[in-house]
Amino acid sequence: MQNIQSSVATQTPSLAVSDTKQILAALALGLVLVLFVGFAPMEVIHNAAHDARHAFAFPCH
Amino acid sequence: MTLRNLILSALMVGVISGLCYGLFQQLQVNPLIYAAEVYEVAEPAAATASDGHSHDHGEAWGPEDGMPRMAFTLGSNITIAFALALIMISLMALHNQKSLKPKLNALSGAAWGIVAMFCFFVAPAMLGLHPEVPGTNAAELESRQIWWLFCALASALGIAVVYYGSVLLKAVGGLIVAAPHLIGAPLPTEHGFANTDPVAVQALTELTSQFYMMTAIGMLILFIIMGVLSGLSLKKFVHNGA
């Protein structure tokens, strides 16, 4: 029990330190996903997302 | 846990706001897209060869009209909404973590939503490239995409500088927001539509103005829902620790 408690206690600060990095990782993921669905030039993705791209007023065609 | 909470929050916000926008699009926007496609002219072989795509392998797969197409559109709406929500919630989390300004809630979330609409829709599309129905003449796709991304990024960065920066920096922020428009969006050399038949041109002109209005209303709905829910979920699920 003591072991578990101490390991939790030592882990908490390291989690707090990496908070910003985790936020930036989420931000990067969001950006990549927008580029993929909205802007990727592959024909198949374009066709699948075609109407959505138009409706978000992304450049299409 | 922060990453997990951010992603789960964005998923919830994205599914709800994407569904709302998807429904709106199905009812108000898609009829305009379908109607415009009737007037689309088959691209001549020379034009297809020079537009950068390779059509050697024949037409690529696309969802069939009817249910499959609607399903893929709805799926894409939700995916884009999820991605935008992830960007918004991440930036909100950074705000809560780094800024001394008041923490986010539903009301300030709505304000963020309106700012996001400006960055993602008003600046790049309304003030720049204009929303297009299928068959609209436009400049080369790649240059428009680059300008769009540049404009969205500059708008967001500029507004952030105006909001967070010192008095001196605020002017710089305004300049950053204006920069893409000073450079100018890549517009077609001649405005109009691929189909030059007068009846088609008149129909497409009407469809275009309806398309402007409907996408604008839809975007407003999407971004306000997204902003409010993002602000709420941040308050509830993402801790504000330093």
- Banded model confidence at residue B191, pLDDT cuts 50, 70, 90: confident
What is the number of residues in chain B?
242
Nearest alpha carbon to residue A41 among A29, A58, A17: A58
B143 domain-assigned = no
Question: Using CB atoms, which residue from A24, A25, A34 is nearest to B83?
Answer: A34
Residue A14 located in a structural domain = yes
Distance from CA of B141 to the nearest CA of A (A): 6
Is B193 within 8 Å of chain A by CB? no
Residue B54 lies in a domain: no
Q: Which of B218, B194, B231 is nearest to B47 (CA)?
A: B194
pLDDT in tens, B115-156: 999 999 999 999 998 888 888 888 889 999 999 999 999 999
Q: Is B22 within the bounds of a domain?
A: yes
**Number of residues that this document lists for chain A:** 61
**By CA distance, what is A46's nearest residue in B?**
B62
Name the residue with higher pLDDT: B93 or B130: B93
The C-alpha atoms of residue B209 and residue B238 are separated, in whole angstroms, by 41
ipTM score above 0.90:
no
Which range has highest mean pLDDT (A16-20, B95-99, B189-193)?
B95-99
pLDDT confidence band for A16 (50 / 70 / 90): low
Partner-chain residue, chosen from B53, B97, B148, that has the shortest CB–CB distance to A58: B148
Residues ≥6 apart with Cβ < 8 Å to A22? B2, B3, B6
- B130 contacts A60 by C-beta, under 8 angstroms: no
Tokens representing B179?
């920069």
Judge whether residue B48 has pLDDT over 60: no
Q: With an 8 Å Cβ cutoff, are B134 and A48 in contact?
A: no
Whole-angstrom distance, CA of residue B42 vs CA of residue B48: 10
- Check if A51 contacts B (Cβ < 8 Å): yes
User: How does residue B26 score in pLDDT terms, banded at 50, 70 and 90?
Assistant: very high
B86 within a domain of the structure (yes/no): yes
Examine residue B80 and state whether it is found in any structural domain, yes or no.
Answer: yes
Q: Which chain B residues touch A56 with a CB distance below 8 Å?
A: 80, 120-121, 215, 219
Q: What is the mean pLDDT of residues B165-173?
A: 93
Question: In this complex, do B83 and A37 lie within 8 Å of one another by their Cβ atoms?
Answer: yes
Asked whether residue B47 is domain-assigned, the answer is no
| A40 in contact with B, Cβ within 8 Å | no
Q: Do A43 and B53 touch (CB under 8 A)?
A: yes
CB of B220 within 8 Å of any CB in chain A?
A: no
Give how many domains chain A has, as a whole number: 1
State the average pLDDT for chain B. Answer: 89
A60 inside domain: no
Q: Is B94 on the interface with A (CB under 8 A)?
A: yes
Find the domain containing B78 and state its range: 2-41+68-138+187-237
pLDDT band for position B47 (50/70/90)?
Answer: very low
For chain B, what is the domain count?
1
Predicted pLDDT of residue B49 = 41
- 3-class SS letters over chain B: CHHHHHHHHHHHHHHHHHHHHHHHHHHHHHHHHHHHHHCCCCCCHHHHHHCCCCCCCCCCCCCCCCHHHHHHHHHHHHHHHHHHHHHHHHHHHHHHHHCCCCCCCHHHHHHHHHHHHHHHHHHHHHHHHCCCCCCECCCCHHHHHHHHHHHHHHHHHHHHHHHHCCHHHHHHHHHHHHHHHHHCCCCCCCCCECCCCHHHHHHHHHHHHHHHHHHHHHHHHHHHHHHHHHHHHHHHHCCCCC
- In this structure, is residue B53 part of a structural domain? no
Q: Give residue A11's domain range.
A: 2-55
User: Does a structural domain hold residue A33?
Assistant: yes
Is A61 among the domain residues?
no
Q: How far apart are CA B224 and CA B123, in angstroms?
A: 17
- Best of A27, A39, A51, A60 to mutate (most B CBs within 10 Å, chain B): A51
Cα–Cα nearest to B139, from A54, A39, A58, A61: A61
